[in-house]
Amino acid sequence: MSIAAEATTAPAPLSLASWRMKDFDFGEGERTKAFDIDLGDWIGADAPGDIYLALAAASRIPDPFGDRAEADCAWVIDREWWWRTEFDAPNVRTDQRLILTFEGLDTFAEVWLNGERIAASDNMFVPLRLDLTGRVRAGVNGLAVSFAPVAKRVEGKPALTWPFAGDAISKTGRNLTRKAQFGWGWDWGPTLPTVGIWKPVALKVETKASLADVVFTTLEISPERDRAKLRIAVTADAFVAATLAAKVELTAPGGNLSAEQTLTLAGGVASVDVDLISPSLWLTPELGAADLYDLAVTLEADGAAVDARRLRVGVRTIAVDQSPDPDEPGATFFRFLLNGVSIFARGACWIPASSFVAAVDEPHYRKLLQLAAEANMNMVRIWGGGVYEHDAFYDICDELGLLVWQDFMFACAPYPEDDPAFVESVAAEVRVQIERLRHHPSLALWCGNNECQVIGAAVGARELAGDLYYEEIMPKLAAENDPTTPYWQGSPYGGPHPNSMIAGDVHNWTVWHGVPPVPVDTMVGQFSIAPENVAYTRYAEDMTRFVSEYGIQASPVMETLKRALPEDQRVYGSEGLQARIKDHPKNKVDAMLVTVTGLPTDLQEYVDFTQITQAEGLKFGIEHFRRRTPHCSGSLIWQLNDCWPGISWSLVDYYGFGKASYYYVKRAYAPVMASFKAGTDGAIELWMVNDHMAPISTRAEVAFASFAGETHWTKTVAVDLGPTESRCVWRGEAAGGAGDMITVRSADDAFPANRWFFAPIKDLERGTVTAPDVRFESGEDGALIVIIAASRPLWFVHLLVVDEAVRFSDNYFDLMAGETQRVVVTHPSRTLSEAHVTVRWR
Ligand code: BMA
């Protein structure tokens, strides 16, 4: 997405995709008949679309992501907005009806047809379906949607807040609205609460009946995985008496028809069970291919086709094993079983990919999710403060074999339980989202919320306002509408305390925020961020079952700062830079940096030092959590992406540039991974983990060397690992100092190289750093090969290209003395040359 600064010229003709909009004082729109007045000074807006983007395109506001523009946009949310368009009335026979569907209105909306108010909506996550049969007039019809200022709609409602000073919820009342919560500002995002028609609008003439629902379920997969039992259920909504049938066709990945049947619908419903022999299973990448079947359902009324739906579905079962862990008495597992196989979830948390959620399109999703898959991830968690993503998100996850942990959209707040309309609205939202998403094979878990229970416990709330949803409404609706997908009450949740390490999932914010998992006896807002409390080495104390959040903030690459900041603000400590840091205090990162790199003195050092600390810290954490397989069965990093060009915990920035951490994580998430761990009494241990379903046999070459280029000793270790096994494969003595390192590499490319330093980065004794020899060659299909040869060990070697579409076969790596690395640099459409690439190291 890009924001055009110049005003649009001739406005596009009005249609359900192309509207005009204008703002009014609250109530003024109706008084002045906004649905009828001249459109002369109204500005163009797309549906689905966003008010801020339309305003920026018409030069009414600056680019909202530009330097400190957030404040200039603050007026938008307090205005009443009207959107208008026109449509031609289609012909509607007596056995037909005319249905207008708004997939999503954000948020307090009223719909007007030819000047008459016909409907209202107050939950951006619930579609509005209107039957316009008999209500339209011949010829052109005027359609308008008005959006009231959110503050006017929460005015007078009792505030619901956490009992601690500095609580920002009461001020915004965000928790009294069913609207994306992050819009009111988060500790990684600006305050830009959206308004408008954020999802598609469609007008459809239906004949006799329509398909209300198609449900696809994998009921069972045999232990040998050679048979599967499926159920396909169809519900139709008939509005005239007719004989209904549904033609169901299931096509296997190779194109063969696996099942074909015509079902008679009695009372509008029918279902069929299908037994598949030798099914192509849907698997995560380390287990196999994410095979998809094509399900086509055609609804027939009195023998004629009247409606159709196509779904891409996967044959797979998903469950969460919470049985007792025999090796850690008192603890229970929290591990996903995919087709009965226990997997380690390697992934990250997802936040909306733009503050303007309407504008996130398929290519934007694909870019980010592809990056996640390329970083060896098999799960993403959609965090509860954003939105239920557009369909394309889940389609791409289905294709890539990425499991989705789906939070319901509740985050870090109490939610009203005593307002019947609110309760009803939540129930409708939960039902509709379950119905929309349940057929996706990527869907792994429904989760009640983000951090409501844990913050409630931390602030001593005796009864959590919101439990009605997490404990009653959501589990009931999930069991009724999607019984084969597991439900979990919150993230984190489980055990004697919501953030208990002996059960369920944990958010580890010891590192960064200074709040240890259990027991959480620190009040929110009184975090202890002394360097020794937040050091990333404290991940080693975490004996969690499944860590669903942990992270460290870092600056994006310099190119991103250049795009976001005017030249005079590209200075370490500038106001412009500070405005991109949303966590408090603004220098929180310093406590992380002092023990790792020391504090920066300029912007380039700020970029490098924060990126180094994030990368080293996440590597340390991932290695620890994966060594604990199966006692720990998941690592979801906070956070994969960004909603604007800011400074956050993301691995990939708003534009799509990976930080150093992205490449470190990619290596640490390799399905087969080798890591070192300090043993007791000066010993060092080499651990290996295998996430594949098949055993592996390989050789690990271990070397104890110095930065001066000396090799103290080398050793080859033969390694045999079973499926999903983690084990110490070698233990030895390596009394290294600040000038030494121990390295491991695979003799047969079975796992990425790794190393262990014996001192913090800032204390390493590396002697003189000698520049590498860099050569360029052209590779296949326009690729550029960069050959980097080091005569002395080099660290943090990285390649930069000022284009976020560029991919590197590896980046931000180390080189040993005498080592040469060939990096393949590719671009989807450009041929790259030497002039595009900068090579840096430290
Ligand atoms: C967790 C998340 C987010 C937050 C992040 C960093 O609490 O759930 O709410 O942005 O940590 O503080």
Contact 370, 659 (CB under 8 A): no
Per-residue pLDDT, 733: 86
Please indicate whether residue 188, judged by its CB atom, sits closer than 6 Å to ligand 1: yes
Q: How many angstroms does the Cα of residue 389 sit away from the middle of ligand 1?
A: 19
- Atom number in ligand 1 closest to CA 188: 10
Atom of ligand 1 lying closest to residue 491 CA: 8
269-326 pLDDT per residue, tens = 999 999 999 999 999 999 999 999 999 999 999 999 999 999 999 999 999 999 999 9
Q: Are 783 and 825 in contact (CB under 8 A)?
A: yes
Q: Is 515 close to ligand 1, i.e. is its CB under 6 Å away?
A: no
Kindly report, residue by residue over 197-209, the tens digit of the pLDDT: 999 999 999 999 9
The SS3 call for residue 735 is coil
Q: Are strands 443-447 and 487-488 parallel, antiparallel or unpaired?
A: parallel
* pLDDT of res. 518: 58
The pLDDT tens digits for 71-84 are 999 999 999 999 99
Q: Whose CA is nearest to atom 7 of ligand 1?
A: 451
> Does the pLDDT value for residue 8 go beyond 50?
no
- CB of residue 412 inside a 6 A radius of ligand 1: yes
Give the pLDDT confidence of 656-683 residue by residue, as tens digits: 999 999 999 999 999 999 999 998 777 9
Residue 451 Cβ < 6 Å to ligand 1: yes
Integer CA distances (angstroms), 714 to 11, 408, 655, 675, 744, in order: 71, 52, 43, 16, 10
User: Which segments of 648-798 does DSSP mark as H helices, in order?
Assistant: 660-668
Between the CA of 179 and the centroid of ligand 1 the distance, in Å, is: 18
Residue 170 scores a pLDDT above 90: no
Question: Mind listing the pLDDT tens digit for each residue in 42-57?
Answer: 999 999 999 999 999 9
**pLDDT band at residue 171 using 50, 70 and 90 as cut-offs:** confident
* Closest to 90 measured CA to CA, from 209, 202, 238: 202
**Ligand 1: distance of its center to the CA of 402 in Å?**
22
| pTM, full prediction | 0.97
Give the ligand 1 atom nearest the CA of 639: 5
CB 445 within 8 A of CB 322: no
Residue 87 · residue 196 · CB < 8 Å: no
The closest-lying atom of ligand 1 relative to the alpha carbon of residue 186 is: 10
Q: What is the DSSP string of 771-817?
A: PPEEEEEE-GGG-EEEEEE-SS-EEEEEEE-S-TT-EESS-SEEE-T
For residue 183, the Cα-to-chain-centroid distance in whole angstroms is 16
